């Protein structure tokens, strides 16, 4: 059956459902729009635009994305080899936080740019969200950015990899076909980002942006890393560049809002983030950052309103639900917080951030055994994801494990966890005071005094450390100098035999002193005689 001239039926139906989905999405009927995009993919596996819209606007959860990838009919539309390549390409775009993953590339590649038409002076550097406020990077494609990308791809600038990249043998062999693609490196950078390895992530995104300064999939990721690392100067330069070139894009004003956000000027941040949401109301990261600008000022109601809007737009993302649960916990609405954390965990069951926050709720409820269980699960997931040292982002998790073990009277384990947290953040006054408090409970007052002094050296106005230090010094002053020390000094009563000995010693001493005095008198007389004789002469 041919609907149009030289157009197969499956392609015509795919185009029809794609257009229908866009219409439904414009009417805010995102559920039916997602169904239409799925139908379009079922008719034509090459309909990448439908797949991109599903992934870009977070219409599906991680599990639904995997089910969609498995349900795509590849046998009827293409050959086996083409099906492997297409599925591998689609798999690079899927979410990377729902299960622990290792990096695709075992060593970070070094990307060289040919000297012809070098655009290194126009580096676009991006930014993230705050360490405890985690913004999900989503790819943003707009007509102007896509045109620029196509123009850059037409250039004869080929990537040269310094060392041949090693592909994980457990990954699909077809992935190796994309090792020269920027999208492949963006997928690797996303994996670094979700593993909280922001230094490696920003190193890779900077290389990508040197090749394509306005890569629409890399910019939000790069901006998120800049926010996490508090690199405001680079973010300022990037925001100015984007505003000058693309003043009508949401990503430009998002960068400006994030710059003001990390500098602590929330009013300006909200102004520019609101403008970003007006330009693209489906831009989820802007809504999350907008909520963060209220959260840092403890305006919980406004923050939750922004997060609820983000959850409506980002159905398949767990972060809005996670942040709503955080705000509920801060307002002491523990039961509601648990419900939102559970909903977030249904979307991303392996996310250690959710496990950590559930442990915090259990700790607030005095359920220390359950809190220890959740904290240990989060730490186990992190160790599976990150081979080697844990990122400094997880220092609060180790400190919370130490607090929980202290409540369970596992003092040695508590000291061990606090020491690990101190290795990640060496200048943390709260960690020093936590170690000191454990030593107080173990009655190691001398150690406690040293640790409290270290804490006060970093934070002089720490009320807890000051109060506890005074208490410990008082306890230390009243402490016995050694074991079995009597409380009072015993009275000394000498025996009779010892008195006789003492008297004999005293008499001998007196006799000797008398003899010495007699000798001294004789010597004095002789001196007087000699003086008189000399005068007579």
pLDDT digits (tens, 9 = 90+) for 291-308: 999 999 999 999 999 999
Using only the alpha carbons of the chain, give its radius of gyration.
37
Residue 2's pLDDT is what?
47
Whether 151 has a pLDDT exceeding 90, the answer reads no
What is the rounded average pLDDT of the residues 499-504?
Answer: 54
Provide the pLDDT for residue 395: 93
Contact assessment for residue 253 and residue 273, using Cβ atoms and an 8 Å cutoff: yes
And the tokens for 239? Answer: 């925001």
Domain ranges of the chain: 9-91
Contact residues for 214 (Cβ-Cβ < 8 A; gap 6+): 124, 145, 148, 149, 245, 246
Of 10-19, 67-76, 262-271, 337-346, where does mean pLDDT reach its minimum?
A: 67-76
pLDDT confidence band for 323 (50 / 70 / 90): very high
Distance (Å, whole) CA 395 – CA 423: 9
Across 146-155, 414-423, 509-518, least confident range: 146-155
Q: Would you state the pLDDT for residue 392?
A: 87
- Reported as a pLDDT band with limits 50, 70 and 90, residue 484 is low
**Predicted pLDDT at 441:** 94
Using DSSP, state whether 114 is helix, strand or coil.
coil
**pLDDT value of residue 513:** 46
pLDDT at 316: 83
Dihedral sign (CA 498, 504, 510, 516):
negative
Range with the poorest average pLDDT among 115-129, 227-241, 343-357, 469-483: 115-129
Q: State the DSSP string of 281-322.
A: TT-HHHHHHHHHHHHTTT-HHHHHHHHHHHHHH-TT-SHHHH
pLDDT attached to residue 128 = 31
Residues found in the chain = 537
According to the model, what pLDDT value does residue 383 have? 86
Q: What is the mean pLDDT of residues 334-353?
A: 90
pLDDT in tens, 450-483: 999 999 999 999 999 999 999 988 887 776 666 6
Q: What pLDDT does 168 receive?
A: 41
Q: Give me the pLDDT at residue 302, please.
A: 93
Most distant CA pair in the chain, distance: 160
Q: In the predicted model, what is the mean pLDDT of residues 124-143?
A: 32
State both tokens at 156: 């004869």
Report the alpha-carbon distance of residue 192 to residue 196 in Å, rounded: 6
Task: Give which of 109, 106, 217, 110 is closest to 168, Cα–Cα.
Answer: 106
200-259: per-residue pLDDT in tens?
Answer: 899 999 999 999 988 888 999 999 999 999 999 999 999 999 999 999 999 999 999 999
What percent of the chain is predicted at pLDDT more than 70?
A: 72
pLDDT of residue 501: 53
The residues pairing with 161 across neighbouring beta strands, listed in sequence order, are 111
Confidence class of residue 370 from pLDDT cuts 50, 70 and 90?
very high
């Amino acid at each position: 059956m041919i609907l149009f001239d030289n157009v197969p039926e499956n392609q015509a139906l795919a185009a029809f459902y794609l257009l229908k989905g866009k219409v439904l999405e414009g009417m805010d009927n995102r559920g039916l729009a997602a169904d239409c995009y799925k139908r379009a993919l079922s008719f034509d596996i090459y309909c990448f635009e439908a797949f991109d819209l599903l992934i870009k606007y977070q219409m599906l959860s991680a599990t639904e994305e995997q089910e969609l990838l498995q349900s795509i009919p590849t046998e009827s539309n293409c050959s086996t080899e083409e099906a492997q390549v297409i599925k591998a390409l689609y798999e690079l775009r899927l979410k990377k936080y729902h299960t622990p993953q290792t990096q695709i590339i075992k060593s970070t590649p070094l990307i060289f740019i040919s000297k012809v038409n070098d655009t290194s002076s126009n580096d676009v550097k991006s930014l993230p969200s705050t360490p405890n406020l985690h913004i999900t990077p989503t790819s943003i494609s707009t007509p102007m950015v896509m045109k620029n990308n196509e123009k850059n791809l037409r250039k004869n600038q080929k990537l040269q990899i310094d060392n041949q990249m090693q592909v994980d043998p457990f990954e699909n062999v077809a992935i190796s076909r994309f090792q020269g693609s920027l999208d492949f490196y963006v997928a690797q950078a996303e994996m670094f980002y979700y593993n909280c390895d922001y230094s490696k992530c920003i190193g890779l995104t900077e290389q990508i942006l040197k090749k394509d300064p306005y890569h629409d999939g890399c910019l939000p990721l790069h901006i998120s890393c800049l926010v996490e690392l508090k690199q405001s100067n680079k973010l300022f330069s990037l925001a100015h560049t984007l505003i000058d070139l693309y003043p009508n894009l949401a990503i430009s004003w998002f960068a400006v809002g994030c710059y003001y956000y990390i500098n602590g000027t929330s009013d300006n941040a909200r102004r520019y983030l609101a403008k970003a949401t007006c330009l693209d109301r489906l831009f989820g990261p802007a809504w999350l950052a907008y909520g963060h600008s209220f959260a840092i000022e403890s305006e919980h109601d406004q923050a939750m309103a922004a997060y609820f809007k983000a959850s409506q737009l980002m159905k398949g993302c767990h972060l809005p639900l996670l942040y709503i649960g955080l705000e509920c916990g801060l307002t002491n609405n523990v039961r509601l917080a648990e419900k939102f954390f559970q909903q977030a965990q249904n979307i991303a069951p392996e996310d250690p951030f959710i496990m950590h926050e559930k442990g915090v709720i259990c700790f607030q409820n005095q359920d220390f055994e359950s809190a220890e269980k959740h904290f240990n699960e989060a730490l186990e997931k992190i160790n599976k994801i990150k081979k080697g040292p844990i990122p400094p982002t997880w220092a609060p998790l180790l400190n919370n494990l130490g607090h929980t073990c202290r409540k369970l009277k596992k003092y040695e384990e508590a000291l061990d966890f606090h020491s690990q947290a101190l290795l990640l953040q060496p200048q943390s006054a709260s960690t020093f005071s936590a170690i000191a408090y454990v030593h107080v409970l173990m009655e190691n007052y001398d150690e406690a005094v040293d640790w409290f002094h270290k804490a006060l050296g970093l934070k002089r106005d720490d009320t807890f450390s000051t109060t506890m230090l005074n208490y410990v010094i008082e306890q230390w002053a009243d402490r016995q100098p050694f074991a079995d020390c009597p409380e009072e000094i015993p009275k000394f009563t000498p025996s009779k035999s010892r008195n006789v000995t003492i008297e004999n010693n005293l008499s001998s001493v007196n006799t000797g002193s008398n003899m010495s005095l007699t000798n001294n008198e004789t010597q004095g007389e002789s001196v007087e005689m000699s003086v008189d004789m000399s005068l007579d002469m």
